[in-house]
Amino acid sequence: MHRFYLPSANCRDALLRLDGREAHHALHVLRLQRGEHVTVLDGAGMEYYCDVESASKNSLVLAVKEKKHTPAPACALTLLVAVPKGKLIESIIQKAVELGAHRIVPLLTEHVVTQLDDDGAEAKREKWQTVAIEAMKQCGTPWLPKVEPPQGINEHLARGEENDLSLVGSLQTERRHPREWIRDFQKQHGRLPRRAAVWIGPEGDFTLAELKAIEAAGAKPITLGRLTLRVETATIYSLSFLNYELQLQL
């Protein structure tokens, strides 16, 4: 069954309307006809099982036949990842969606080549959010992660955000296996973290100053094994592990 995305604010009626990119794909790529079955995801936990009611040149009307709500994951995972060269960040975003990230924060660190002004950062964010939407539709999750504009480490830390548990992949300081930090938290609080974050550095790692700033904000240094991993590999490794450890009850 084909999947489409429609923001929750547009999913309040018995008839849903697809416009823009979604309608173009449905009409001119898939060539959907009246009576065909589709699924609409709202990115906020709802799935709408629909039949095509009518189609025009630029829009599609869907009749909702059934609704399903999927509870939010037990732990909201934030991925903070340095922007790699080329288009690798798009692949990273795709995998992060599949592996249950709640939010994705692209980082501009000292070892990141890309530097952007405010307009460029917002343009990138919009493009990367579209990548996340396509990944959501492909894998079928009804929860759409928010992709933030690329930002510096100090800019992000200045927000003073708090997580139950924050981890940072590190090559430079004393590190522990991430499971040890999770078990320490569980022993202290009697539960698993409900909000967690993981920081992944660029090729060449975070600088020592960056790492100290991240750790000073509460992040715990972790090892990802004895090998030096590429950014995209470290991201998949970390999110896979945290998804297994923190979302197991789902």
Q: Render pLDDT for 141-185 as a digit per residue (tens, 0 to 9).
A: 999 999 999 999 999 999 999 999 999 998 876 889 999 999 999
Task: State the pLDDT at residue 139.
Answer: 96
More confident residue, 204 or 78: 78
Q: Render pLDDT for 88-105 as a digit per residue (tens, 0 to 9).
A: 999 999 999 999 999 999
What is the location of CATH 2.40.240.20 in the chain? 2-69
Task: Judge whether residue 249 has pLDDT over 60.
Answer: no
Half-sphere exposure of residue 110: CA atoms within 13 angstroms, side-chain side: 9
Q: How far apart are CA 92 and CA 79, in angstroms?
A: 10
- CATH 2.40.240.20 for the 2-69 domain, yes or no: yes
What is the location of CATH 3.40.1280.10 in the chain? 76-246
Residue type, 229: L
More confident residue, 87 or 15: 15
Q: Which residue has the tokens 């589709």?
A: 38
Task: State the pLDDT at residue 117.
Answer: 67
Fold of 76-246: Alpha/beta knot (3.40.1280)
**Of the candidates 84, 40, 68, the residue with the CA atom closest to the CA atom of residue 234:** 84
| Dihedral in degrees, nearest 10, Cα atoms 18, 20, 22, 25 | 120
**Of the candidates 105, 139, 143, 110, the residue with the CA atom closest to the CA atom of residue 124:** 105
Contacts of 195 (CB under 8 A, 6+ apart): 75, 76, 78, 162, 163, 164, 165
What's the length of the chain? 250
Task: State the pLDDT at residue 250.
Answer: 37
